[in-house]
A and B are shown apart, each in its own frame.
Chain A
Amino acid sequence: EVQLLESGGGLVQPGGSLRLSCAASGFSFSSYAMSWGRQAPGKGLEWVSTIRSSGDGTYYADSVKGRFTISRDNSKNTLYLQMNSLRAEDTAVYYCAKPAVASVWGAFDIWGQGTMVTVSS
């Protein structure tokens, strides 16, 4: 069974840092670009970042560029999101997502269960 399992969320003060992890199983992780998305409480979905399968290309939403860093360890089948200089508006459920096809850009057929990040003093 294809699965994505996020961890690392929690409560952090404004200006703080947090690293999210996403453990993948059931598919050839190293063959797929992977992405992070988020959903603020009561709001819609927002794409955050994508990383190419080999890690040699990364892309970010303007809202997080310069503060967040996406990375991956294909030997551990794990995706990461390092979040620095966190702001209240970063409060959201963060999802990792896999595209349906082994292409950088694709519809997401598998989503993790999400991990909640709360930025508050």
Chain B
Amino acid sequence: DIQMTQSPSSLSASVGDRVTITCRASQGISNYLAWYQQKPGKVPNLLIYAASTLQSGVPSRFSGSGSGTDFTLTISSLQPEDVATYYCQRYNSGPPLTFGGGTKVEIK
């Protein structure tokens, strides 16, 4: 099975900082990579799909990049409402649809 490894597992940054989260696949997955945001006590929310396509309604400070095995989620200017856990997920060619372990983002 393809494993998805996220780093870091947690981070603390100041409002306005640029934040980068990485996700690495154990095998190439082309661009079949999604990013989700899950705020405390809430349902996961799709931010980005196809590695870099912003889901409708998602603020433009979120961006994604990468292809193959290495991907990044960037928040260009961290806002208080961005406090959440972020997950990557691969969805190419069949099961299991593996999620990364998550990155918890906090405000310093």
Contacts and interface: CB of A to CB of B under 8 A. Distances in A.
Contacts, number: 64
Contact of A45 (B50, B93, B99): B99
A7 to B, nearest CB: 15
B13 to A, nearest CB: 21
Nearest to B50: A107
A46 B44 CA distance: 12
Interface in B44-81: 44-46, 49-50, 55
Interface string A67-83: 00000000000000000
Majority secondary structure of chain B interface residues (helix, strand, loop or mixed): loop
Nearest to B97: A47
Contacts of A104: 94
B43 A47 contact: no
B33 to A, nearest CB: 9
Contacts of A111: 43-45
Contact of B44 (A45, A50, A62, A100): A45
A44 B91 contact: no
6 contacts: A45-B87, A46-B99, A47-B89, A100-B46, A100-B49, A108-B36
